[in-house]
Amino acid sequence: MKNWIIVGVTSAIAESVARIWAERGYKLFLVARNENRLADIAQDLKVRGAASVTTFAMDANAFERHQECFDAALKSMGRIDGILVAHGTLPDQKACETSFNVARSEIETNGLSVISLCTIAANLFEQQRQGDIAVISSVAGDRGRQSNYVYGAAKGMVSIFLQGLRNRLAKSGVHVTTIKPGFVDTPMTASFDKGGPLWASADQVASGIVGAVDKKRNVVYLPWFWWIIMNIIRHIPEFIFKKMKL
Amino acid sequence: MGKPYVSWARYPYTSQQAVDLQWRTDLLPDVPSVLPQGNARSYGDSCMNHGGLVASTRFMRRFMDFDPQSGLLRCEAGLQLADILNVVEPQGWFLPVTPGTKFVTVGGAIANDVHGKNHHLEGSFGNHVTQFELLRTDGSRRLCSPTENTDWFDATIGGLGLTGLITWAELQLKRVPNSAINLETIKYQDLATFFKLSEESEATHEYTAAWVDCLAAREKLGRGHFLRGNHARITQPKPAAAKLKLAMPIDPPLSLVNSLSLRAFNALYYNRLFQERTFATVHYDPFFYPLDFVHDWNRMYGPKGFLQYQCVVPNETSYDAIREILQRIADANSGSFLVVLKVFGKVPSRGMLSFPRPGATLALDFPYHGNKTMALFDQLDEVVVQAGGAIYPAKDAHMKGEHFRQFYPRHDDFKQFKDPGISSSFWRRVMEENT
């Protein structure tokens, strides 16, 4: 049995991970903005077999509450074995281009708040000399593209931060997993046409995350074929790339 | 957006605009025409709303409460039967009624008032629903049960999603000593024997159904394997579930089901049993859900998709009508691997538009061959009409409006409960087009 914090559990992927962990009998500490939704999810996870479920309503952008969140988790579960950071938004790229304030707020949500949470987790886990940090980044962070480079910049920042963190914590027995999903069929991506073979279900990605955490993988692309796609995209020379419509 | 919302038989194959509901507090979208949808396992167009929207509950799939003492389960409408089994089976409970796939949602099971191999004892799914909440497009919510808003309750069970969206439901599960099944398989020679076996098994076996060799003709017509079973005793060891799952990862360019493969399969499958009777204790999965073993098996029929045909004919006419139908299918050299024949019992279905009623029911699929398939269906429909039977909307993409109205005489009562903001391709086909 393990004790996990899940931040952003109202996202379809994170909720699906929580279901798998609940069936394994884990203790879970759920964090999201909306109290009623947290209660709905908590009830579901209890029926599915979670040893205990505690909820904590918090906006990830309330940086000043992040420490309080960890304190509450430690108090309710007694010990923290891992944290899955899964919250995020899919920004309106056009709005980010016309307003820096929108861009900044998106970068705070998708980038800085993740870094704040991981900083606290890293220090705690380093001290207890064990723990898993798993973060949902994105393939969008692998290369800036005109269609969503603000989101990409935030996710790229997260990916590089985690690289350094993994390096720092390796000697303390703390593991960091960077998760890079491709296109996932969730309510967050409702505005897309999901007809193609590149789309994966939230359940598929969730079981990939659970497997990656179990196997202590460093960086995973989900599904795996995104590793090939992103390798190709990363290697297109810039003078060609800048003229492409991606 | 398209793919996740296409109906199971992939005919008609048209893309479908959709929204996902994620929370019980969500409202139906404010558009001229929307249709609640579960996991889109209905075969034809009853779960589709071409030209309008579907409101999918596939992300609204949470347990709300389960009491292992009483077996009462409350959950959101998008929860699938597979998830329920995962949780309740280890605690000694089972679904009171289950259809042939566990990948249907609770909302869909209610909206189609689905049935299973125990219909002769337990009736259909709606008979075990204790209450649900119905959300209308005007935002109103009604608690419906056998004692409250009963007219809405009866309209919504089997109501094909047309009365509103079921947000959550409560079911009474069944306590079983063992989820495994003590199964007896009897290789029988003809249709008369099928009816004889059905009758003698009704009181002794909780589950009955037959697989029929649909290509056997003349004196062998209706031959097949009669399956009957009861839950195993508490002391019997549970067989393990099969680990290996198969999948159809691609769309083959042609249907893999054709008259050659069908003839070979049916002959081999029928003669797979050497003895006339075999006994086995089997896991519930292969017994109730043989097709779930092959993920995306519907792709086997290739890009044109397939059609299901399921009818029921009353007991008085059932022998002749089923004989006639099987003869016409054998003559057409068509049909499928999995042909199921079962005798329904007398437990009345609650729904105004429920399909199950006393009589014999036959279900099978056909690869879609354009007019040839449609012409065969027209012939089969005539037999069903003459026999005083009915066709199952959840499986249908073909029946004529006049036939639907004859099969479901309460359609006029039903209209007052239909949500004016809700429609489906099926409903328009059978009620609004001049056919």
Query: In angstroms, how far is CA B42 from the centroid of its own chain?
Result: 7
Q: What is the pLDDT of residue B434?
A: 59
Q: What is the pLDDT of residue B356?
A: 98
Instruction: Give, in order, the Cα–Cα distances in Å from B406 to each of B348, B385, B410.
Output: 19, 8, 9
Domain count, chain A: 1
Q: What is the pLDDT of residue A147?
A: 92
In a domain, B45, yes or no: no
Q: Do A186 and B59 touch (CB under 8 A)?
A: yes
Q: Measured between CA atoms, how close is A92 to chain B, in angstroms?
A: 19
Please name the member of B2, B23, B86 whose beta carbon is closest to the beta carbon of A195.
B2
Q: A217-244 pLDDT, tens per residue?
A: 999 999 999 999 999 999 999 999 999 9
Average pLDDT over residues B43-47: 91
Please give the structure tokens belonging to residue A80.
């923290």
Is B13 an 8 Å CB contact of chain A?
no
The mean-pLDDT minimum among A9-18, B124-133, B288-297 falls in B288-297
Percent with pLDDT over 90 in chain A: 92
b/e burial code for range B233-248 (CB count within 10 A of at least 16 → b): eeeeeebeeeeeeeee
A214: domain CATH number? 3.40.50.720
Distance in Å from the first CA to the final CA of chain B: 30
Instruction: Give, in order, the Cα–Cα distances in Å from B110 to each of A134, B161, B291.
Output: 40, 9, 21
In a domain, B175, yes or no: no
Instruction: Give, in order, the Cα–Cα distances in Å from A112 to each of A134, B224, B424.
Output: 16, 66, 46
In a domain, A246, yes or no: no
CA angle at A29 for the pair A88 and B39, rounded to the nearest 5°: 60
Answer whether A124's CB lies under 8 Å from A131's CB.
yes
pLDDT at A128 over 90: yes
Cα gap A135→A177, rounded to integer Å: 6
Mean residue pLDDT across chain B: 91
Q: Do B25 and A36 touch (CB under 8 A)?
A: yes
Q: Do B23 and A23 touch (CB under 8 A)?
A: no
Average pLDDT over residues B240-258: 72
Q: What is the pLDDT of residue B4?
A: 65
Please give the structure tokens belonging to residue B198.
């059905």
Answer whether B37's CB lies under 8 Å from B46's CB.
no
- Nearest residue in chain A measured CA to CA from B68: A47
Q: Quick one: pLDDT band at residue B35, thresholds 50, 70, 90?
A: very high
Q: Which domain range does residue B223 map to?
A: 181-400
Which helix (H) or strand (E) element contains residue B276? none
Q: Quick one: pLDDT band at residue B276, thresholds 50, 70, 90?
A: confident
Q: What is the pLDDT of residue A44?
A: 98
pLDDT at B49 over 70: yes
Query: Residues with Cβ < 8 Å from A37, sequence gap 6 or more?
Result: A10, B23
Answer whether B58's CB lies under 8 Å from B39's CB.
yes
pLDDT at B102 over 90: yes
Average pLDDT over residues A81-86: 98
- B209 vs B257: which has the higher pLDDT: B209
How many CB atoms sit inside 10 A of residue B93's CB?
A: 24
In a domain, B80, yes or no: no
Q: What is the pLDDT of residue B249?
A: 67
Q: Do A47 and B65 touch (CB under 8 A)?
A: yes
Mean residue pLDDT across chain A: 95
Q: Do A47 and B3 touch (CB under 8 A)?
A: no
Q: What is the pLDDT of residue B418?
A: 98
- Nearest residue in chain A measured CA to CA from B2: A195
In a domain, B144, yes or no: no
SS3 A160: helix
Q: What is the pLDDT of residue B264?
A: 77
B311: domain CATH number? 3.30.70.2520
Is B428 an 8 Å CB contact of chain A?
no
Bridge pairing between strands B340-344 and B294-295: unpaired
b/e burial code for range A70-104 (CB count within 10 A of at least 16 → b): bebbeebbeebbbbbbbbbebbbbeebeeeeebbe
Domain count, chain B: 1
Average pLDDT over residues A79-106: 96
The mean-pLDDT minimum among A96-105, B254-263, B283-292 falls in B254-263
Q: B354-398 pLDDT, tens per residue?
A: 999 999 999 988 888 888 889 999 999 999 999 999 999 999 999
Q: A175-213 pLDDT, tens per residue?
A: 999 999 999 998 877 777 776 778 899 999 999 999 999
Q: Measured between CA atoms, how close is A194 to chain B, in angstroms?
A: 6
Q: Do B22 and A12 touch (CB under 8 A)?
A: yes
Name the β-bridge partners of B181: B231, B282
Using a CB-CB cut-off of 8 Å, the residues of chain A touching B4 are: 185, 194
SS3 A220: strand
Q: Quick one: pLDDT band at residue B219, thresholds 50, 70, 90?
A: confident
Is B22 an 8 Å CB contact of chain A?
yes
Which of A15, A23, A24, A44 has the highest number of chain B CBs within 10 A, making it the mutation to test binding with B?
A44
Cα gap B69→B426, rounded to integer Å: 41
Q: Do A36 and B3 touch (CB under 8 A)?
A: no
Average pLDDT over residues B396-424: 96
Which of A30, A33, A38, A40 has the highest number of chain B CBs within 10 A, making it the mutation to test binding with B?
A40
Q: What is the pLDDT of residue B1?
A: 43
